[in-house]
Amino acid sequence: MLKIVPSYFIQNSVSIGKQQGDFSIMSQKLYSLTLEKIAEEEAKDEITDYTTYTRLSKVGKNPKSKQVFSDLSKMELRHYEFWKKYSTKSKITPNKIKLYFVLFLRWVMGASFAIKYLEGQEASTIKKYEGLRTLIPSEDKKSFEEIIVDEKGHENSFAEEVKGGYVRYISFIVLGLADALVEIAGIHAGSLGIYKSTELTGLAGIIAGAAASLAMASAAFAQAKQGFQGSASLAAAYTGLSYFVNAVILATPYFLTKNMFAAITTSVCLGVAIIAFISWYNSVMSSSHFKRDFAELAGIMLGATLALYVFGTLVRVLFGITV
């Protein structure tokens, strides 16, 4: 394949003179090899995205969603063809691990999440592309700039178009989960200072969770009535249900063992795992910072757990209350 060498390489080789000829030739070869390797890597990413979107366009019954995925696949195919012409490889195959992982996300999380996940991968790609401008031949710069524009804006806009009805209620689900993590973990820890039985500790968490889930649902209903673009009843249901389900999950270890330390350790680990999932989901859907969100919420939960355990112990010691 013919390699295109930018004019500044030719100008430099002339000005340096005959004695530097070998160095100039070596620079040109290095340039060609660098562009070819980069092109192969980018072509693989683009053909992976093309294959993924093509497969996604054939999944589900929503015609709007399927059309969006079809449009995205065409866009990624153009990107692939741009990079492929710089490669000497006759065939570039998609990354099957990424392909099947995204299809799994589509099946479990929905179309919007799948697109948002792929869009999240584009942030580093955009930065890399912006740093490659000097490697692209002048006659291809316009096409290259169009690719950058595509990566920056098209997929975000498409993601907004295919948002499922459930997406608008995500904030209410997260609210229920987050509150339950802090409150129920704290109730369990506080109860450990008083109860001798793990079953009573778990039961305290479930009863408190049932009451709190009703309160949270009522608050969510009132909040949703204030201009929320959706059903206030569904917002309340999502909030209350997510709270109660989380309370049951955190209480379950207390019914599986008589050992207090094992029960609270397992419960806290489940809480941290749920926090990690919430933080990851939120980071994908809203482009927030996973590490920061995870650290903040995990810190609040662990801090509340420790504080209420100390409080429960003080109540037992000062008032002699033990059940």
Each residue's pLDDT tens digit, 161-213: 555 556 667 777 777 887 888 888 878 777 776 777 788 888 888 998 899 88
DSSP classification of residue 4: P
Question: Contact, 192 vs 260, CB < 8 A?
Answer: yes
Out of 68-82, 134-148, 183-197, 261-275, least confident range? 183-197
pLDDT value of residue 14: 40
By three-state DSSP, how is residue 259 classified? coil
pTM: 0.67
Task: Enter the tokens of residue 173.
Answer: 């689900």
- What residues contact 316, with CB distance under 8 A and at least 6 apart? 193, 194, 322
In our burial notation (b when 16+ CB lie closer than 10 A, e otherwise), range 23-51 reads ebeebbeebbeebbebbbebbbbbbbbbb
**Residue 241 burial (10 A CB sphere; 0-12, 13-18, 19+):** middle
Q: Dump pLDDT digits (tens) for 228-287.
A: 777 888 888 988 998 899 899 999 998 998 888 888 889 889 989 988 988 888 888 777
Give tens-digit pLDDT for 100-114: 998 888 887 777 777
According to the model, what pLDDT value does residue 97 have?
92
pLDDT of residue 7: 40
**CA nearest 244: which of 220, 267, 210, 274?**
210
Examine the pLDDT at 30 and tell me if it is beyond 70.
no
Compute the distance between CA of residue 274 and CA of residue 270 in angstroms, rounded to an integer: 6
Tally the residues of the chain: 323
Domain ranges of the chain: 7-13+26-163, 166-319
Higher pLDDT, 55 or 23: 55
Q: Burial, 93: exposed, middle or buried (Cβ in 10 Å; 0-12, 13-18, 19+)?
A: exposed
Q: Are 143 and 259 in contact (CB under 8 A)?
A: no
